Structure 1
């Protein structure tokens, strides 16, 4: 994403007004994918806020998955990514969570009280965004380990997160529309039933 000289001047002026404590993405961060993930997070939060606490107990559009489990998955996905990014930034060893442990975590999370479930999603999303913002240009060149010895470049995690939150927003089944999803992600997602 390249900025015009006028846009760059405006950005520098804004940063000067915000002060030294403000966080910004590194220059080499995948800006477009971060924007997709952040917009998807906001869209998911809006669709989640439209649901009453009792609505959380209903089935989602994802076959055999209740809304509570879907919401827990969104929260724990953000938390797992944030922990991996944070460990890499700190130079610590990163161990991927096993699929069985991840499923157990989601099942347990689905039993949380509604307020705690909503807070899980909110706080984990903020934590992930902070970890992304704290990555340096060099940090964006690192990779996270996956199962079976595979790795994923950190640069791909915002796009992965974007797919997860946009798909989950559709799968909540309370009016999310494929037409609301940014065009560059639509082909990556499954259309919700009836849309």
Structure 2
């Protein structure tokens, strides 16, 4: 009996060694809200993608100049790029998102030519890899400085928000029926704030009041006046992100032209 028990204990120990440390959990210092949004957005994009047939993938997306194939390739390779930033933050060795803008564009163009099954796998596998990297990051690594594709130096925790924007907004861009109305209220408000912050950094923010009919307070108030645009938070955010205007009214007549978001 003792010999059998010892052998069983040894077998269990060997199994634990093969399986590793077990379940992975985000570090205490991780950006938990943004990670939850990113993971929910990944599921949102996956559902939107699953509703499209293989033939549908070759149609135009709602994003001007992009077909669905290019958009899906972009979302997949974006996860790979953010994974490289995680490597940078974890190891301290510089590992940029892309070697150059040309390399990024070529990668997307090449990915858009993949067979439908491979294109779907690119999205699925790349998001799993990114999620594993996030789960394995120690707490202090989340505050390591990395550089985005736009040249901004940010803490690594920013990758969770960067991915959140990608998956939620591009799920709508697929044009399969998902809309800004499907985005959670808190995330909608954060997206609107992100657009305003991007304009502020570039010195392009227009004097504009955004009066959301389904919020207790405006999404933004223009100091010293300026046009006031009214609509639901979903419709206002759609417009701010450059996805077109629907059901909005402006007290100055026509809606003003907006700077680009990203």
CA distance in 2, matches of 1:51, 1:148: 31
Conserved? CA contact 2:88–2:94, under 8 Å: yes
Which residue number in structure 2 is paired with residue 178 of structure 1? 180
Query: Does the 8 Å CA contact 2:142/2:157 hold for their aligned counterparts?
Result: yes
CA distance 1:119–1:28, shift in 2 (3 Å): same
Where does residue 152 of structure 2 map in the other structure?
Answer: 150
Q: Greater relative contact order (Cα 8 A, min sep 6): structure 1 or 2?
A: 1
Whole-Å separation in 1 of the counterparts to 2:94 and 2:143 = 16
Matched, 1:121 2:126: no
CA pair 179-82 structure 1, distance change in 2 beyond 3 A: same
Change (3 A) 1:131 1:173: same
Provide the secondary structure at the position in 2 that maps to 1:144: strand
Q: Is the 8 A contact 1:170 1:178 kept in 2?
A: yes
Q: CA deviation at 1:149?
A: 5.2
Matches within 5 A, 1:1-195: 20-97=21-98, 98-147=100-149, 150-187=152-189, 188=191, 190=238
Give the C-alpha shift of residue 160 in structure 1: 1.1
Aligned partners of 1:94 and 1:145 also within 8 Å:
no
Structure 1 counterpart SS, 2:146: strand
Task: Give the TM-score normalised by the residue count of structure 2.
Answer: 0.63
SS of the residue 1:152 aligns to = strand
- Structure 2's unaligned 5+ residue stretches are 1-19, 192-236, 247-262
Tell me by how many angstroms 1:180 deviates: 0.9
**RMSD of the TM alignment (CA)?**
1.9
Q: Pick which of 31-40 and 82-91 moved more.
A: 82-91
Q: Distance in 2 between matches of 1:102 and 1:59?
A: 20
Which range moved further: 180-189 or 164-173? Answer: 180-189
In 1, Cα distance between equivalents of 2:117 and 2:244: 28
Instruction: Between 37-46 and 85-94, report the one with greater CA deviation.
Output: 85-94
8 Å CA contact retained: 1:58, 1:66? yes
* Structure whose alpha-carbon radius of gyration is higher: 2
Displacement, 1:164?
0.6
Change (3 A) 1:54 1:184: same
Determine which structure has the larger helix proportion and give its number. Answer: 1
Instruction: Quote how far apart the aligned CAs of 1:147 are.
Output: 4.9
Partner Cα separation in structure 1 for residue 182 and residue 88 of structure 2: 34
Aligned residues: 177
**Consecutive aligned runs of 4 or more in structure 1 exceeding 4 Å deviation:** 191-195
Per the TM alignment, residue 100 of structure 1 is displaced from its structure 2 partner at its CA by 1.7
- Inter-CA distance 92–32: structure 2 relative to 1 (3 Å threshold): same
